[in-house]
């Protein structure tokens, strides 16, 4: 565990704030389009780049890649 998790928390908060601000300025034609775009943004910017303490401070993408490499090697 990193000695100070605060910089990680600040990066995540900044990323969410930036995403929220960019979507707040966007005029979507339908609610469905808004939901799809926001969900995509969360998946790409937040879930794939966020460090998770339950994953030893790795991103979900890093864990998935490691898992797939182990499966391919087996």
Question: How confident is the model at residue 8, as a pLDDT?
Answer: 55
Tell me what the mean pLDDT of segment 58-68 comes to.
Answer: 90
Please state the domain extents for the chain.
6-73
Question: How confident is the model at residue 10, as a pLDDT?
Answer: 62
Question: How confident is the model at residue 3, as a pLDDT?
Answer: 53
Tell me what the mean pLDDT of segment 41-60 comes to.
Answer: 81
d(CA 32, CA 40): 12
d(CA 36, CA 23): 11
pLDDT digits (tens, 9 = 90+) for 11-38: 666 666 666 666 567 788 888 988 888 8
């Amino acid at each position: 565990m990193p000695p100070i998790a605060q910089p990680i928390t600040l990066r995540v908060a900044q990323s969410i704030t930036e995403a929220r601000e960019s979507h707040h300025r966007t005029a979507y034609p339908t609610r469905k389009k808004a939901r799809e775009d926001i969900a995509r943004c969360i998946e790409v910017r937040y879930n794939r780049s966020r460090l998770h303490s339950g994953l030893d401070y790795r991103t979900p993408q890093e864990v998935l890649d490691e898992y797939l490499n182990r499966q391919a090697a087996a």
